[in-house]
Amino acid sequence: MPKLGTTPPAVAPAETFNSTNPPSGASNGTIWTNPANNLQLMFQNGSWVQANVGASATGVSDNTLLTIGTDSDEVLVNRASVLNANTTLAGVVVGTPVTPAVAANSLIIANITADGDILLAAQTGGNTTAYLWIDASAQILRLYGGAGIANLVIDGTDVNLPNNIILTFGTGGDVAMVDKSTSTLANTAVTSVILGTPVTPAVAADSLLVFNTTNDGDILVGTTTGGNSQAAIWVDGSAGEVRLYGAGTLAVIVGATAVTFSVAPTPTANDGVALGVSGTAFADLFLASGAVINFAAANATLTHSTGLLTSNVPIVAAGFRSSGAAHVGLGAGEAVTLVSGVATVTKPYVILDAEGAGTTDTLDSITNSGQAAGDLLLLTVNATDTITADNSATLLLGAATRAIAPGGCLLLYATSATVWVELAFLAATS
């Protein structure tokens, strides 16, 4: 092929732009110079076209293909008119293209050889470094940021930022994101991401780190519905809080010392989850004045008023004990004590029995300690049991013994300071 600047047989100026009568025997890319006017012609796809690439050239005309390589593998052209999407252009855009529409006077650079790549590189310090690589066979675009490291990889389905490449937002890199390939220890700084004297947990390798590196800068995550944006997560840097929203309404605030709710926390289903677990139970339960503990949609309730708890249903005790033997009384300053195997009742004279069914022992005995005429004594049991008179025969049941069915009770009346008399025997009812 004649080299650049080789002089062919003279071509009359009138024939310079006559593409229908080119000299024969030329191959694509052959350039001939007309010595009369220094105009240059390039043979391209069976035609001579103005090239203007000689020593005195001023440029390449519109729609003139500037090709590189013996077989015109690469080509540059200034397209004078609009080129529609997915449209071929002879010698430039070939086959069944997948290309965008480009405006008039657009520069098109193409490699028309199958699987031929395009590489842009520069040299520094005597070493060439890649900055852009179009990998045709893999259909991947790679952008490099020095040291031969691909900082951004784009293919047909993904835009990939490789490990340890920090993606920043803002002129000052105010927000930083990075997939760190190695683990990060707790309270450990990471250049341009975790700063100062951090208070951060340990994270595993290949963790995504997202930080606002500006003092007191926030992070807000939201969505849009019905054309209106709404908050979902707000990390409040100055307050040191995470705020969670539902449909744009503040629901939970997580702070350093408390988790506060502006909506009622509920399980996903009725009886679906416990409040606390065995072994890691809550320490205390604080309820406001007038609070209500509601069981099974008001089947049973405990309601607070000043100095009083009120139940809307009877409370049945299965047996309360302060130790393995002694019974327990109810109410402030009220108690049942055990002295020499005998239960001594103190007002208001309520005994809850808890030993096994059919048992008779001294825990079922009552002494005449502390009562006055007109006092009442209510005895209940949790299983069939036997109540007996004590050694002083001060418990007058009308019989030597009295058996009380589960959930039943025995009501006694003090006729004097020394004598109890049975008033009623009530069977268990639902």
**Tokens 């699987």 map to which residue?**
115
How many angstroms separate the CA atoms of 84 and 79, rounded?
11
How many other CB atoms are there within 10 angstroms of residue 362's CB atom? 14
3-state secondary structure of 362: helix
State the DSSP code for 269: S
Q: Is 73 left (phi over 0), alpha (psi -120 to 50) or beta?
A: alpha
What is the pairing mode between strands 66-68 and 74-79? antiparallel
CB 344 within 8 A of CB 337: yes
Which of 106, 113, 120, 118 lies closest to 91 in space, CA to CA?
113
Tokens of 398: 């009308």
77 class by beta-carbon count within 10 Å (0-12 exposed, 13-18 middle, 19+ buried): buried
DSSP assignments along 10-49, one per residue: ---GGGTT-TTSPPSS--TT-EEE-TTT--EEEEETTEEE
419 class by beta-carbon count within 10 Å (0-12 exposed, 13-18 middle, 19+ buried): middle
Tell me the C-alpha to C-alpha distance, in Å, between residue 307 and each of 298, 300, 332: 22, 20, 11
Rounding to the nearest 10 degrees, give the CA dihedral for residues 302, 305, 307, 310: -30
How many angstroms separate the CA atoms of 316 and 302, rounded?
14
CB 175 within 8 A of CB 169: yes
Which of 193, 206, 141 lies closest to 166 in space, CA to CA?
193
How many angstroms separate the CA atoms of 384 and 368, rounded?
24
CA atoms 45, 50, 55, 58: torsion sign: negative
Query: Could you read off the pLDDT tens digit of each residue along the chain, which spans 430 residues?
Result: 333 333 344 333 333 333 334 466 577 767 766 666 566 667 766 666 665 544 444 567 788 888 888 888 899 999 999 999 999 999 899 999 999 999 999 999 999 999 999 999 999 889 999 999 999 999 999 999 877 789 999 998 999 999 999 999 999 999 999 999 999 999 999 999 999 999 999 999 999 999 999 999 999 999 999 999 999 999 999 999 999 999 999 999 999 999 999 999 999 999 889 988 999 998 999 999 999 999 999 998 999 998 888 888 776 544 433 333 333 333 333 333 333 334 444 444 444 444 444 444 444 445 545 566 666 666 655 555 555 444 344 455 444 455 555 556 666 666 766 666 666 444 444 4
Which residues have C-beta within 8 Å of that of residue 115, sequence separation ≥ 6? 136, 137
pLDDT, position 147 = 75
pLDDT, position 358 = 45
345 class by beta-carbon count within 10 Å (0-12 exposed, 13-18 middle, 19+ buried): buried
What is the pairing mode between strands 159-160 and 150-154? antiparallel
Domain-wise residue ranges, the chain: 118-160, 219-261, 286-314, 336-426
DSSP assignments along 189-216, one per residue: -BTTTB-SS-----B-TTEEEEEE-STT
CB 91 within 8 A of CB 44: yes
pLDDT, position 348 = 43
How many other CB atoms are there within 10 angstroms of residue 177's CB atom? 15
134 class by beta-carbon count within 10 Å (0-12 exposed, 13-18 middle, 19+ buried): middle
242 class by beta-carbon count within 10 Å (0-12 exposed, 13-18 middle, 19+ buried): middle
How many angstroms separate the CA atoms of 141 and 208, rounded?
23
Fold category of 336-426 in CATH: Jelly Rolls (2.60.120)
CB 150 within 8 A of CB 135: no
